[in-house]
Amino acid sequence: MSSDRYHQHFFVSWDQLHRDVRTLCHQMIERDFKGIVAITRGGLIPAALIARELNIRLIDTVCIKSYDHMDQGGLDIMKGVDHDGEGWLLVDDLVDTGKTARAVRKMLPNAHFVTIYAKPDGRPMVDQYLTEVAQQCWIQFPWDMGVAYVEPLVDQMKR
Ligand SMILES: O=P(O)(O)OC[C@H]1O[C@H](OP(=O)(O)OP(=O)(O)O)[C@H](O)[C@@H]1O
Ligand code: HPA
Ligand SMILES: [Mg+2]
C-alpha cells in the first residue's frame, strides 16, 4: 500500500515521547509483568523507557518489518518467542492499520499489548494505548528527524 493515504504529519519530539511513555507507565504501575517483549524496531525505544519506569530487567524481542519508509509491504517476521505472552508486556511504538499487531497477537495471544500511539483502524488490536492519532496522519518519530536551521519568516517572504 502506498504513502498516498497520509495527508498530514503528527510530529513527536523526544521530550513529548518521554512524557507520553511516562503517562502510560502511570496507568500500568499496579501491574506486575514477567518481562517485556518489544516489537522491533519502533517498540525498542518505548520498551527501554517503560523498563526503566517499571523496573523490568527481562526484555525480549519479536523482530518484524512491514513498512519501507511510508510504503506498507508484506509482513516479514524474522524472530518470534517461545511462549504465549502470559504475564508479559508487549510493546510497540504505534498501531496503524493493525496488520503488524494482528500478526504479533497471534504469536502472543495472552500478552498485555500496549502502544504509545494508536490510529482508529488498529486500535482494537491493542489492550492499551495513550494517544489516538487520525488515520491519515503519519507519525514522525524523533529518531527519524533531525534539528535543522529555519530561515526567518521575513527572509522566506522575500523569495
Ligand atoms: O499497524 P501497522 O499498519 O502494521 O503499522 C504499525 C507498524 O509499522 C511500524 O513498523 P515498521 O514495519 O515500519 O518497522 P520499524 O518498527 O522497524 O520501523 C510501526 O513501528 C509498527 O510496528
Ligand atoms: O504513522 C506512522 N509513523 C511511523 N511509522 C509508521 N508505521 C506505520 N505507520 C506509521
Ligand atoms: Mg515497527
Average pLDDT, rounded, for the chain: 96
The answer on pLDDT for 70 being more than 90 is: no
State ipTM. Answer: 0.99
- Domain definitions of the chain by residue range: 3-158
Answer yes or no: is the C-beta of 50 below 6 A from any ligand 2 atom.
no
Tell how strand 71-79 and strand 59-68 pair up: antiparallel
Ligand 1: lining residues by beta carbon, under 6 Å? 39-42, 65-67, 92-101, 122
Q: Is the CB of 96 under 6 A from ligand 2?
A: yes
Distance of CA 95 to the CA centre of its chain: 6
Query: Per residue in 29-63, pLDDT tens?
Result: 999 999 999 999 999 999 999 999 999 999 999 99
CA angle centred on 150, ends 149 and 154, rounded to 5°: 140
What percentage of the chain exceeds 90 in pLDDT? 92
Binding residue per annotation — 95?
yes
- CB 53, CB 77: distance < 8 Å: no
Q: What whole-number distance in Å separates Cα of residue 15 and Cα of residue 79? A: 31
CA separation (Å) from 27 to 4, 19, 50, 107, 128?
A: 35, 13, 11, 25, 9
95-119 tens-digit pLDDT: 999 999 999 999 999 999 999 999 9
The domain over range 3-158 is classified in CATH as 3.40.50.2020: yes
